[in-house]
């Protein structure tokens, strides 16, 4: 049962990710991306990471995608303003992308000799994540606040109207 | 540890002073705060303990690199007081961002967990994306910011992917546990090497090594000169310190997987950086390419990876940072906020501006590596490290690179002493600006004559 669900979700993830690339209109791309994130959320649930699944749904599929849509609408993207890349650049990116994929596929092939890590009782629940976050990972959790204040100050610097403008 | 908390509080204090518009207080607060932070940092010298569940290991290496970065930022802030003398209201925000950047640098030199490394790099990078675009109405500054942001975000993605793969194999973010895993496993899985390579790519981007250097000239030229100086010194020091710390503690046993690639990156960086710098007619672009080539020299000790490496990296970063800050300070003195600074604007500098000319001569000589200045001993220690690991070809190529370097570092000097088209007027400077120039001259000479004061610090 789980295996079937995994394959269905994987097919959905990959095909929607491809549709993101191949859609002509950026709006359609974003909508396909939403579906992609939804199916990744499904993967998290299959992996017993319930908390992560909900966060992924709220933050990525919810907040960030809405932001994406706003940006696309505000920038008024259409076909004429789309930059045309030279052919050699497209070739180069296809080749490098395929190389990376081959390396990763080769690295993953036959990758079952290492034993899976043991998981705890409350793995993946809000309680379990909270416990780890406030004990072992307290330091990065607190320091991340500096990261966010930096981003906020930056947004203010870039967006504020200055006196001498 | 106290340094981290103190710097965070200092950043917030500066933000508040800016919000309440006490303009006269901003610079003194920042300067005094950074001096206090320097001494707090020095007081942690004997601490050498991992703390917070092994997230941070504040050892001698971390203390010395943090000290170096604080001194660099301090000198840059003094230059900033001159640079921003006519600027508007958002200076406090920029100073605060620079202090936050310092926190990122501190984490990058003291991490003992890959999560801390990533957060450190992100704090550093996000602040820089904004600083690069801090002249909002200037189109070149906007371009620099956007370019740096897009490329930097992509590189962060590579780094994060690498960290994920390493976690997938070792089931740990902790450096000690990863290095135990490397020592205990006979045949490392390919996934692990793939992770190491992706991390290598991420770092090579952050320090601007060939072939991940494409952003450097445009970003360095478009960003405000003072921020360019910041990127060329503090950011490069932090990046290389983190690079060495990670590869020395975790991946030194498996050099077969990354050694050849880093060898090529290192040699290509030195050659391409120096050769392209020769062809530049614009001061900031020339210094940008020269900073690319210096990233190559800084990679040599990582390639050699022996007991001399950490001291060589530290001494070289110190010598390079001081010389670069002096060179950029002279450039800021000459420029009036324009982006395009052709080399011939140095013309006739020597006659009426003795301090600036001396500073220019000392910094260029130090960057070129001419004895008895600090830059010479920096290169000497790097080559010594390489020779100990038997990297003769790298040393030969690096020496050829520095010979090319001497040519373009002399170009501004030739212009400065050329009085044909009339000499430059005396340039109005303030006390802080002259202090930085004097400090740059004295430190370059002092470190060159007594290299042992700094050399053995990181241990």
Query: From the list B104, B116, B134, which residue is nearest A139 (CB)?
Result: B116
Pairwise CA distance, residues B330 & B352, whole Å? 14
Q: What length does chain B have?
A: 459
Pairwise CA distance, residues B170 & B180, whole Å? 9
Determine, yes or no, domain membership for A55.
Answer: yes
Instruction: State the residue for tokens 């010395």.
Output: B64
Q: Into how many domains does chain B fold? A: 1
Q: Given this model, what pLDDT does residue B338 score?
A: 61
Q: Given this model, what pLDDT does residue B319 score?
A: 94
Pick from B42, B19, B78, B34: which is nearest to B332 by CA? Answer: B78
Q: Given this model, what pLDDT does residue B337 score?
A: 56
* Residues of chain A neighbouring B11 (CB-CB closer than 8 A): 146, 149
Q: Which domain holds residue A28?
A: 2-107+131-159
Most confident segment among A58-62, A80-84, A126-130, B196-200: B196-200
Query: Number of CB pairs < 8 Å for A and B?
Result: 93
Pairwise CA distance, residues B8 & A146, whole Å? 7
Low-confidence ranges of chain B (pLDDT < 50): none
Q: Which of residues 60-99 of B touch A (CB under 8 A)?
A: 88-90, 93-94, 96-97
Pairwise CA distance, residues B451 & B275, whole Å? 29
Determine, yes or no, domain membership for A96.
Answer: yes
Determine, yes or no, domain membership for A113.
Answer: no
* Residues of chain B neighbouring A71 (CB-CB closer than 8 A): none
Q: B261, exposed or middle or buried, with CB in 10 Å at 0-12, 13-18, 19+?
A: middle
Query: From the list B12, B115, B129, which residue is nearest A140 (CB)?
Result: B115
Pairwise CA distance, residues A81 & A61, whole Å? 27
Question: Best of B50, B110, B136 to disrupt the A interface by mutation (most A CBs within 10 Å)?
Answer: B136
Determine, yes or no, domain membership for A23.
Answer: yes
* Residues of chain A neighbouring B90 (CB-CB closer than 8 A): 157, 160, 162
Pairwise CA distance, residues B103 & B3, whole Å? 9
Tell me the sheet residues that pair with B113. Answer: B174
Q: Given this model, what pLDDT does residue B53 score?
A: 84
CATH code at A37?
Answer: 1.20.120.1200
Determine, yes or no, domain membership for A16.
Answer: yes
Cβ–Cβ gap A153/B113 under 8 Å: no
Contact of B174 with B113, CB cutoff 8 Å: yes
pTM of the model: 0.92
Mean pLDDT of A6-10: 93
Pairwise CA distance, residues B86 & B94, whole Å? 15
Q: Given this model, what pLDDT does residue B266 score?
A: 94
Residue A80 has pLDDT above 70, yes or no: no
Query: What one-character-per-residue DSSP string does B116-177 give?
Result: HHHHHHHHHHHHHHHHHT-STT-HHHHHHHHHHHHHHHHHHHHHHHHHHHHHHHHS--BHHH
Q: Which long-range contacts (CB under 8 A, 24 or more apart) does B310-313 make?
A: B310/B61, B310/B244, B310/B248, B310/B458, B310/B459, B311/B381, B311/B455, B311/B456, B311/B457, B311/B458, B311/B459, B312/B378, B312/B381, B312/B382, B312/B384, B312/B385, B313/B240, B313/B241, B313/B244, B313/B458
Distance to chain A for B352, nearest Cα, Å: 33
Pairwise CA distance, residues B192 & B167, whole Å? 9
Q: Which domain holds residue B449?
A: 2-455
Q: Into how many domains does chain A fold? A: 1
Pairwise CA distance, residues B127 & B15, whole Å? 14
Determine, yes or no, domain membership for A59.
Answer: yes
Cβ–Cβ gap A140/B96 under 8 Å: no
Q: Given this model, what pLDDT does residue B20 score?
A: 85
Q: Given this model, what pLDDT does residue B87 score?
A: 60
B108 Cβ under 8 Å from any chain A Cβ:
no
Number of Cβ atoms within 10 Å of the Cβ of A73: 11
Q: Which two tokens stand for residue B84?
A: 């921003």
Pairwise CA distance, residues B254 & B22, whole Å? 55
B94: nearest CA in chain A?
A157
């Amino acid at each position: 049962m789980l295996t079937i669900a995994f394959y269905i979700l994987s097919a959905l993830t990959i095909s929607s990710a491809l549709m993101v690339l191949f859609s002509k209109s950026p709006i359609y791309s974003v909508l396909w991306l939403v579906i992609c994130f939804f199916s990744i959320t499904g993967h998290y649930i299959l992996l017993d990471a319930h908390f992560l699944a909900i966060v992924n749904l709220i933050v990525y599929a919810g907040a960030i995608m809405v932001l994406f849509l706003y940006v696309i609408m505000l920038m008024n993207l259409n076909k004429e303003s789309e930059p045309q890349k030279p052919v050699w650049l497209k070739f180069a990116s296809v080749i490098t992308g395929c190389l990376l994929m081959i390396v990763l596929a080769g690295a993953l092939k036959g990758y079952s000799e290492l034993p899976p890590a043991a998981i705890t009782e409350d793995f993946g629940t809000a309680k379990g994540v909270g416990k780890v976050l406030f004990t072992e990972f307290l330091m990065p959790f607190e320091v991340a606040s500096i990261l966010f204040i930096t981003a906020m100050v930056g947004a203010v610097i870039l967006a504020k109207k200055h006196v001498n403008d | 540890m106290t340094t981290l908390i103190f710097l965070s509080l200092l950043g917030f204090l500066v933000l508040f002073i800016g919000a309440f518009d006490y303009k006269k207080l901003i610079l003194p607060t920042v300067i005094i705060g950074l001096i206090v932070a320097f001494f707090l940092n020095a007081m942690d010298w004997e601490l050498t303990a991992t703390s917070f569940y092994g997230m941070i290991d504040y050892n001698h290496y971390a203390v010395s690199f943090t000290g170096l970065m604080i001194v660099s930022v301090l000198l840059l802030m003094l230059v900033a007081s001159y640079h921003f003398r006519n600027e508007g209201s958002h200076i406090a925000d920029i100073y605060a961002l620079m202090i936050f950047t310092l926190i990122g640098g501190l984490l990058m030199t003291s991490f003992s967990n890959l999560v801390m490394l990533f957060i450190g790099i992100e704090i550093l990078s996000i602040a820089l994306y904004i600083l690069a675009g801090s002249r909002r109405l200037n189109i070149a500054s906007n371009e620099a910011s956007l370019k740096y942001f897009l490329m930097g975000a992509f590189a962060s993605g590579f780094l994060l992917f690498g960290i994920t793969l390493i976690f997938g194999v070792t089931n740990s973010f902790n450096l000690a546990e990863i290095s135990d895993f490397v020592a205990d496993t006979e045949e490392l899985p390919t996934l692990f090497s793939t992770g190491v390579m992706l991390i290598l790519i991420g770092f090579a981007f952050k320090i601007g090594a060939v072939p991940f250097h494409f952003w450097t000239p445009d970003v360095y030229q478009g960003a405000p000169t003072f921020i360019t100086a910041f990127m060329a010194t503090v950011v490069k020091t932090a990046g290389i310190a983190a690079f060495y710390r990670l590869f020395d503690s975790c991946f030194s046993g498996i050099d077969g997987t990354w050694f050849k690639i880093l060898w090529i990156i290192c040699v290509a960086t030195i050659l391409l950086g120096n050769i392209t710098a020769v062809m530049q007619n614009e001061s900031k672009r020339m210094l940008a390419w020269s900073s690319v080539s210096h990233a190559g020299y800084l990679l040599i000790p990582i390639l050699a990876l022996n007991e001399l490496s950490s001291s060589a990296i530290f001494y070289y970063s110190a010598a390079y940072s001081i010389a670069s800050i002096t060179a950029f300070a002279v450039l800021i003195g000459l420029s009036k906020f324009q982006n395009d600074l052709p080399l011939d604007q140095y013309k006739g500098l020597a006659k009426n501006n003795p301090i600036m000319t001396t500073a220019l001569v000392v910094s260029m000589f130090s960057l070129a590596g001419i004895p008895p200045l600090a830059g010479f001993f920096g290169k000497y220690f790097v080559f010594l490290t390489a020779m100990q690991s038997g990297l003769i070809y790298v040393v030969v190529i690096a020496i050829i690179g520095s010979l090319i370097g001497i040519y373009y570092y002399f170009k501004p000097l030739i212009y400065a002493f050329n009085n044909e088209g009339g000499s430059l007027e005396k340039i109005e400077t303030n006390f802080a600006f002259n202090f930085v120039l004097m400090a740059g001259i004295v430190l370059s000479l002092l470190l060159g004559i007594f290299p042992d004061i700094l050399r053995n610090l990181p241990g």
